[in-house]
Amino acid sequence: MNTTLIAIIFVIVAPVLGGLIYGIERKIKARMQQRIGPPILQPFYDFFKLAQKRTFIVHSTHAFLGIMHFVSLWFALAVLIFGGDFILVIYLHLLSTALLIIAGYSTRSVFSHLGANRLAITALAYEPVLILIAVSLYMVTGSFNISSISTLEEPLIVKMPLAFVALLLVLPIKLKKSPFDIAEAHQEITGGAEIEYSGIFFEFLYTAKWLDYIFAYALVYLFVASNFFLAITVLILTFLFINALDNSTARVDYKQMLKFIFWTALPAALLNLLWVTL
Amino acid sequence: MELKLYRKKSPWILHYNAGSCNGCDIEILACLSPKYDVERFGMINTGNPKQSDILLITGPVTKRSRERLVEIYSQMPEPKVVICCGSCASTGGVFRDMYNIEGGVDQVIPVDVYVPGCACRPEQIIDGVVAALEILEKKTKAIEKPLRYANEVKDENDQINRRTMPGTIPTK
Amino acid sequence: MNWLFYSLFLFPLLVSGLILLFPKRINQGLIIATALILSTISLYLYGSVKEAVSIQVPELVNFLVAGIDILLLLYFGYVAIKHRHLLVGILSILQLAGAIYVLTIAPHHSTAQFYIDRLSLMMFLLINIVSGVIAVFAIRYIDEENCSEYKKKFFLSVIMWFIGVMNMIVSADNLEYFFLFFELTTLASFLLIGFRNDETSVRNALNALWMNQIGGLAILGAIVYAIFTPEYEQLTFSGLLSNVSNTGLLLPFALLAVAALIKGAQMPFSSWLLGAMVAPTPVSALLHSSTMVKIAPFVILRISPAIKDTNVATVIMLLTGFVFLVAAISALSQDTFKRILAYSTISLLGLMCMLAAAGTETAIMAALMLVIFHGISKCMLFLNAGIIEHVYHYKQTSQMDRLGELGPFTALAVAIGFMSLLLPPFGGFIGKWFSIESIGSSLPTFKLTGALIIAAIAIGGAVMALLYFKVTGVLFSRSGEQEVIRFEKTHPLYQSSIYILLFLIIGGMLALPVLLPSFFAPIASTITQVSISSVFKGGSLYINNLSLPIIPMLIAFLVLPVTIILSLFIHFKGVDRVKEYTCGEKVDYRFSSLYFSTEKAMPFYIVVGGIFFVALVFVGGML
């Protein structure tokens, strides 16, 4: 009962937590570039500011799909946190991405379409890796349920080091970080699928980005769940790694990204699967 | 509303080059560099009018870029402020009265802050943005039209002198 | 009871004869009535028949079958001479020789020729209901076609006849009968693909003919081999299945699988199904959804107890896994709407056959789910493709960017059709989900094969997601000017058939928690002979070791189909409308999508597929 309560609270505060992570990240990134950087609460200032802008929409379908993207992402996150079926979580996440992709296509906007195309490509890059990780998880724990991790004595990373490496390689795609931030690419296609949103409606997409942080780091947490100190260390190191990577690399194009993922992350995940199987 | 406070804390910027020689553009980008680091005020260079609060314009408005400027301005949600960066954007500068130039930005859309200089220095731009934030706080959600004021007094060169108009620049 | 089965077999044949005689007006009513009657019979049979039924037909029918066999093969020979097609000619001579040889040496036991178990009953449901809808749709579609009145009647007649043959093939037990019906479906596809009678149609029809003739030869090979193996007493599916443990001989099954996979258009035999696009759309719908290609998963499901955990199954799984992946990749380079659908059919058929060959209880269930839900969804997609072609005159997806404005209902139906194959909570998704989990949970037995297949499913699934998003995106694209959406009105026959299929998709999805334990589980347990446990516990439905959580599924239902439909009708008030951001330019922009050129790899796929086919026969012969 206690764990359920914690899970419920965690799901409810997830957007706030994600906002905090985003704030810390901006600060750390600035410090890495020897800048002072915005305050840690900056994402929330943005949030409140956006709430009182005049709102523009292109048409209602587009605006509504944006809202539902946020709702379905939150829902996928909830299933993840409650320890649901891993494959289901992956597909629910795909569903939320699908709504954003359709929203991107639903206007006659160049950048929106480009962003939607690229979002679909990024989904192609990371989804197979996640599924292979899920199957490896089954081979280790004997269940597709994420909650089965709690039965393990040693952390998952010991059994699945290569899968963890694969996850680290696809995380920048998930979080839209350089070198794989092709879906958002602010300097190139000015935000991609989210470009036509403004005011209140943009807020849903902005907050969905925070939820994505929680989703991504929750996936990392799965690998180290059993040991608290290890978990904290690995999460912080992952966080630093992703930001250092973001700061030190330039954006690749989608073909390079696909090639890279299919020649590194995917074989790594597959090797890990073979290792735990044979 | 308490929320108005947060307008000041997260100004998102859209940068538009209306026909500049790129001198001012480089200075604007310099603001983002570690030395000046405008991100510490929460500024982001969004590049998307629909999500920005401040329109930073460089260069005189050429006849070609005028419609684009008006279009982009009208796609920015209120409350919004417009900053002219550099002499050309403020008055037309050395390009004033040229056959392909409309004049300063204020000939086309209402301007809130003028930043002088050729090119304007990053410190000046930051100062201008801070001044613009004061104005942003006072603004409302009412629609601002990007039209040339029909009944305004024009000078001998068919230019509106908005600096003499009362109320366009906040009196400190 | 038997007369009901006979009516399923013979009534469509009778109607197909009558259609040729009656005038157009009567035909309309006749076809609708037939579709209704056949659906009712199949539903009633599913409800009332609990035990497997064997039907023995009179001795006379055996002679009739032999006669039709010879006539049919002679007709193929005639076709070869008429069109001067060497390959068809050689294959018909080989087939004719084989068929006569089999007829002369086959031992005549008085065994049952038809065997109807739950699997056949399920196929009856799929064939009669879905094909019935297609037949009704075809009435109007063929009316808009530019050809003579007699040809229109002939078209409808062949469709009805096809339904009858399909009903027979899924209940045939005797291999000689099975061979005849197999060849009859080949004939039907040949006639339907060549319907327009222009150069491409004829070429593609002949292509389909010779490829399927190889399948026929494979069946003949299986029969001959079984005759010369004394352990196989009877030339029936049930005889082969019950005796396989004594002999350990797998070649007949490998050959039957080859025949099935050719019908299922697996590479390298994929080009016949792609060529079928030249025919009027109801033909594609018929071939792709409920009839022709579904013979592949059906046959493999039938023989799956025999080939389970053998090398034959391993080769089939590797082949179909490969096809699942590469067909999805090939589809990315296509722009023609029907070709995209065709490649996705080939790909999903690969998945179904793979699961059927895997043979575990949950894998079989997943295969059954995919057979049913893919049939319904693909049928709806093809019928919509027909509507798009005839009403809006679009064939390429890149042209269809206006469809969201002109025909929002058609666009919505296509979008739901694609989503239902991919995303939760639809049946197609549940099938895919079960497939990953069932192959995953039997990894300890499949080892390397299983891991490779999982990778193929994962990548293929993602590629297919990219493909579907690409197409769905076009359908949703519309400008901001059109704020209020009104569904368009098409012809009532068109509309009613789409409504029925939409109802089946959404109803099937909502009823899934009930259907899984009460519909799919019993069928799967009749195939595997192992009872499948299904219990509700703590808001989840447990099927063996897999669990289907109900609450997430319900919320996913609210999120996906409801959202998509609602998004078209919702209207935000008090919000400003603004134009799309185009850097301030005024451009007439419509649609952009990524295009991939993956066609170059096609010869490679064909070679690899061919190697797999040879390996399948070889492995079957080795054991």
- Contact residues, chain B, for C583 at CB < 8 Å: 68, 72
Mean pLDDT throughout A121-139? 87
Question: Distance (Å) from the C-alpha of residue C447 to the closest C-alpha of chain A?
Answer: 6
Which residue carries 């750390």 as its tokens?
A: A28
The total of structural domains in chain C comes to 2
Strand positions, DSSP E, chain A: 56-57
Last residue of a domain, one of C236, C271, C293: C236
Helix (H), strand (E) at residue C365: helix C361-387
What is the C-alpha to C-alpha distance for residues C74 and C99, in angstroms, rounded to an integer? Answer: 11
- Contact residues, chain B, for C581 at CB < 8 Å: 48-50, 75
Question: Distance (Å) from the C-alpha of residue C486 to the closest C-alpha of chain B?
Answer: 28
Handedness of CA C149, C151, C152, C154 (dihedral sign): positive
**Residues paired with B113 in a beta bridge:** B83
**Same domain membership, residue C334 and residue C218:** no
Q: Terminal CA-to-CA distance of chain A, rounded, Å?
A: 38
Longest dimension (CA), chain B: 48
Report whether C286 contacts C192 (CB < 8 A). Answer: yes
**Same domain membership, residue C499 and residue C397:** yes
Mark yes or no for CB contact A92/C443 under 8 Å: no
pLDDT tens by residue, chain B, 172 residues: 566 777 778 888 888 888 888 888 888 888 888 888 888 888 888 888 888 888 889 988 888 888 888 888 888 888 889 998 888 888 888 887 788 888 788 878 888 888 888 888 888 888 888 888 888 888 877 777 665 544 555 666 666 555 554 444 444 3
Report whether B98 contacts B71 (CB < 8 A). Answer: no
Please name the amino acid found at residue A77: L
Mark yes or no for CB contact B72/C583 under 8 Å: yes
Residue C297 domain-assigned? no
CB nearest B69 (choices: C576, C579, C584): C584
Q: Chain C within 8 Å of A65 (Cβ-Cβ)?
A: yes
Mark yes or no for CB contact A198/B1 under 8 Å: no
**Same domain membership, residue C226 and residue C350:** no
**Residues paired with C116 in a beta bridge:** C53
Q: What angle do CA C518, C352, C428 make, to 5 degrees?
A: 60
Report whether B38 contacts B126 (CB < 8 A). Answer: yes
| Eight-class DSSP state of B143 | -
What is the C-alpha to C-alpha distance for residues B105 and B160, in angstroms, rounded to an integer? Answer: 11
Residue C434 domain-assigned? yes
pLDDT, tens only, A22-33: 999 988 988 888
**Same domain membership, residue C468 and residue C371:** yes
- Contact residues, chain B, for A53 at CB < 8 Å: 53, 77-79, 141
Which residue carries 């029969």 as its tokens?
A: C223
What is the C-alpha to C-alpha distance for residues B48 and C584, in angstroms, rounded to an integer? Answer: 11
Residue C269 domain-assigned? no
What is the C-alpha to C-alpha distance for residues B73 and B57, in angstroms, rounded to an integer? Answer: 11
CA C98 to each of CA C92, C132, C224: distance values in angstroms, whole numbers, following the listed order: 10, 35, 8
Question: Distance (Å) from the C-alpha of residue A147 to the closest C-alpha of chain C?
Answer: 13
Helix (H), strand (E) at residue C436: helix C427-441
pTM of the model: 0.88
**Same domain membership, residue C111 and residue C209:** yes
Helices assigned H by DSSP within C442-534? 443-476, 492-510, 512-515, 521-528
**Same domain membership, residue C481 and residue C375:** yes
**Residues paired with C350 in a beta bridge:** none
**Same domain membership, residue C164 and residue C42:** yes
What is the C-alpha to C-alpha distance for residues B61 and B89, in angstroms, rounded to an integer? Answer: 7
**Same domain membership, residue C358 and residue C488:** yes
Peptide bond into A179 cis (omega under 30): yes
CA C395 to each of CA A264, C197, C200, C339, C403: distance values in angstroms, whole numbers, following the listed order: 39, 20, 17, 10, 12
Mark yes or no for CB contact C563/A68 under 8 Å: yes
**Same domain membership, residue C229 and residue C328:** no
Q: Find the residue in A nearest to C564 (Cα).
A: A65
The residues near C70 (Cβ < 8 Å, ≥ 6 apart) are C96, C99, C100
Last residue of a domain, one of C211, C236, C261: C236
Q: Chain B within 8 Å of C583 (Cβ-Cβ)?
A: yes
Please name the amino acid found at residue B169: I
- Residue C52, token pair as written in the block: 């497997």
The neighbour count for residue C368, using CB atoms within 10 Å, is: 26
For B44-66, letters b (16+ CB in 10 Å) and e give: bbbbbbbbbbbbbbbbbbbeebb
Report whether C321 contacts C407 (CB < 8 A). Answer: no
CA C217 to each of CA A58, B110, C15, C167, C290: distance values in angstroms, whole numbers, following the listed order: 60, 82, 31, 22, 24
**Same domain membership, residue C343 and residue C229:** no
**Same domain membership, residue C313 and residue C230:** no
Q: What residue segments make up the domains of chain A, in order of their start?
A: 2-277
- Contact residues, chain B, for A37 at CB < 8 Å: 37, 39-40
Which range of residues forms the domain containing residue C340?
308-571+591-623
Mark yes or no for CB contact C583/B75 under 8 Å: no
Which residue carries 């109802």 as its tokens?
A: C503
Side-chain-side CA neighbours of residue A231 (13 Å): 15
- Contact residues, chain A, for C455 at CB < 8 Å: 128, 132, 266, 270, 273
- Contact residues, chain B, for A186 at CB < 8 Å: 46-47
Residue C63 domain-assigned? yes
Handedness of CA C459, C462, C467, C468 (dihedral sign): positive
Helices assigned H by DSSP within C170-250? 175-193, 199-227, 237-247
**What pLDDT does A1 receive?**
62
Mark yes or no for CB contact B78/A53 under 8 Å: yes
Please name the amino acid found at residue C100: I
Residue C268 domain-assigned? no
- Contact residues, chain C, for B68 at CB < 8 Å: 583-585
Q: Find the residue in C nearest to A269 (Cα).
A: C455
Question: In the A/C pair of chains, how many CB contacts fall below 8 A?
Answer: 212
Q: Chain C within 8 Å of A275 (Cβ-Cβ)?
A: no
Q: Find the residue in A nearest to B36 (Cα).
A: A35
| Eight-class DSSP state of C287 | I
Last residue of a domain, one of C201, C236, C271: C236
- Residue C114, token pair as written in the block: 């038809």
Which residue carries 């068919």 as its tokens?
A: B158
Mark yes or no for CB contact A37/B40 under 8 Å: yes
**What pLDDT does C193 receive?**
86
3 state SS of C242:
helix
Q: Which domains does chain B have, with CATH numbers?
A: 2-143+154-164 (3.40.50.12280)
The neighbour count for residue A143, using CB atoms within 10 Å, is: 18
> What is the mean pLDDT of each successive set of 10 residues along chain C, which is 623 residues long?
82 87 85 89 86 81 85 88 86 86 75 83 88 88 83 87 88 85 88 85 88 88 80 73 70 85 84 84 84 87 83 86 89 86 89 86 86 89 88 84 83 87 78 80 78 86 86 81 77 86 86 81 82 77 76 77 82 79 76 78 86 84 70
Q: Which of B50, B139, B140 to mutate to test the interface with A (most CBs of A within 10 A)?
A: B50
Residues of A with CB under 8 A from a CB of B: 26, 30, 33-39, 42, 45-46, 48-56, 186-187, 190-191, 195-199, 202
Report whether B73 contacts B112 (CB < 8 A). Answer: no
Q: Chain C within 8 Å of A202 (Cβ-Cβ)?
A: no
Report whether C516 contacts C547 (CB < 8 A). Answer: no
- Contact residues, chain B, for A45 at CB < 8 Å: 6, 9-10, 42
**Same domain membership, residue C547 and residue C431:** yes
Peptide bond into B119 cis (omega under 30): yes
Peptide bond into A267 cis (omega under 30): no
